[in-house]
Homo-oligomer: A and B are copies of this chain.
Amino acid sequence: MARLLRGMCALGARELGLGAEPRCCRSFSSGGWEPPGSPGSLGRAESRRRRAGLAWAAGAAAVLAGLGLAQRAEMARRQSQPREEAEAGGEDELARRCERFMAAPVSGLGALRSRRGEMRSRMELLIMETQGQVCRALAELDRGASFTVDRWERKEGGGGISCVLQNGEIFEKAGVNVSVVFGHLSEEAAQQMRSRGKMLKAKDGKLPFCAMGVSSVIHPKNPYVPTIHFNYRYFEIEEADGSKQWWFGGGTDLTPTYLNEEDAVHFHKTLKEACDQHNPELYPKFKKWCDDYFYIKHRGERRGVGGIFFDDLDSPSKEEVFQFVQSCAKAILPCYIPIVKKHCHDTFTPEEKLWQQIRRGRYVEFNLVYDRGTKFGLATPGSRIESILMSLPLTARWEYMHSPPANSREAKILEVLRQPKDWVH
């Protein structure tokens, strides 16, 4: 089966024709599932700061999605098509836009057409587009590699598309996952949301919901190329009176093995610019939230040098938050790709690779012990485990009492992980 899968990877590559694809430029991207830890929002959502659980449930939506059967995706042929034109245009433009995705949209073209103006359709297009753009950009950089594309369905409604590149020249393991799920909230999930402050009035005991997101973790081989993680997600619940509660969540963060201050500044600066287009208060708030969330408590370390993180974002308006999320998604490639290009051919020693492996161990610790999306997914019967755990690195290491020498480069990054810095002012 492992061999079979590898075969399928090669097939995926051929179908995608990724090597021949023109460079994926800084078109936008967006993404998936990850829970909150401390809050923040665009404005009046400030008052909902403490709805962590509900935000978490939202974050876990894409994980929830991981139910059902994995199927081989039929890859659509792609054509060059500027996004703006596609968004503004008619049915042909929509179809052309979909052709650039890694697989047909989860909801199907017909459903997306019939509710074109609705946020759930616009967000689904955004996350599908992000997945396609990120996958193409990575495959273009890593010419020896290709993505496995798995389409899976959720019995209760919806499904997802998992794209994974493994053991490439540049990327050790890169996963970009989309999920779009809908149905009725389980009593447990509804209780959980209520217990955390969400007022939910069920109709005949039922709460229809729709949750979607794109999430990704990219682990490169070279210890001088950092790991990136991003996710952007949207949650909608219909109440008894037909009104809808909705919110967005997401973030992008960087995990280097060695500190390169220039890279950290570039990364944060790009995110800050994306945030500042909407409100200058957002970046500092979401930067701090990110530092707080990606905290490996038992180590007293952050997972990486941070980035932005937010959840439960439901103000000032659905349109404004969507525009903000879209800007964040657009920033993913310009945040990261220049750093990959800069370092992917850096030489490194076995000792440097070893330090990377130890840091990967910490990555595993965070994801399995603290990440609420992962924990929720693992605890949900019938979840698609492989989509949840594709965030784990290919390899990791735990050495008893490992502690780098004072003033070493290994000690230098630990300092920053223990005491987060402000990278841009």
Contacts and interface: CB of A to CB of B under 8 A. Distances in A.
Nearest to A367: B368
B365 A400 contact: no
Interface stretch (A53-61, A207-215, A269-277, A388-396): A388-396
Interface in A108-167: 148, 150, 164, 166
A173 B400 contact: yes
Given A299-B385, A365-B368, A369-B378, A1 B403 contact: yes
A23 interface: no
B148 A385 contact: no
A2 B400 CA distance: 9
A379 B296 CA distance: 11
A5 interface: yes
Nearest to A357: B395
The interface residues of chain A, by DSSP majority, are classed as: mixed
Given A396-B395, A398-B394, A405 B365 contact: no
Contact of A398 (B3, B392, B399): B392
Contacts of A365: 368, 389
B368 A403 contact: no
Given A3-B405, A378-B298, A385-B298, A396 B396 contact: yes
A1 B405 contact: yes
Given A1-B405, A405-B2, A405-B3, A368 B364 contact: yes
Nearest to A2: B402
Contact of A399 (B166, B385, B400, B401): B166
The count of identical subunits is 2
Contacts of A404: 1-2
A49 to B, nearest CB: 24
Interface in A165-201: 166, 173, 175
Interface in A359-389: 361, 364-365, 368-369, 375, 378-379, 383, 385-386, 388-389
A325 to B, nearest CB: 27
User: Which of A379, A386, A398 is the most central at the interface, judged by chain B CB atoms within 10 Å of its CB?
Assistant: A398
Contact of A148 (B2, B299, B383, B401): B401
A378 to B, nearest CB: 4
A147 to B, nearest CB: 11
Contact of A401 (B150, B393, B401): B150
Nearest to A299: B385
Interface string A278-312: 00000000000000000001110000000000000
A78 to B, nearest CB: 23
Contacts of A412: none
A170 to B, nearest CB: 17
A44 to B, nearest CB: 34
A148 B400 contact: yes
A397 interface: yes
A396 B361 CA distance: 9
Nearest to A164: B400
A68 to B, nearest CB: 15
Given A2-B399, A2-B403, 18 more contacts: A1-B401, A1-B402, A1-B405, A2-B404, A5-B402, A5-B403, A148-B400, A164-B400, A166-B399, A297-B378, A298-B379, A361-B392, A364-B364, A369-B378, A386-B401, A389-B398, A395-B395, A395-B397
Interface of A: 1-5, 70, 148, 150, 164, 166, 173, 175, 297-299, 357, 361, 364-365, 368-369, 375, 378-379, 383, 385-386, 388-390, 392-406
6 contacts: A164-B400, A298-B378, A357-B395, A386-B400, A393-B398, A394-B399
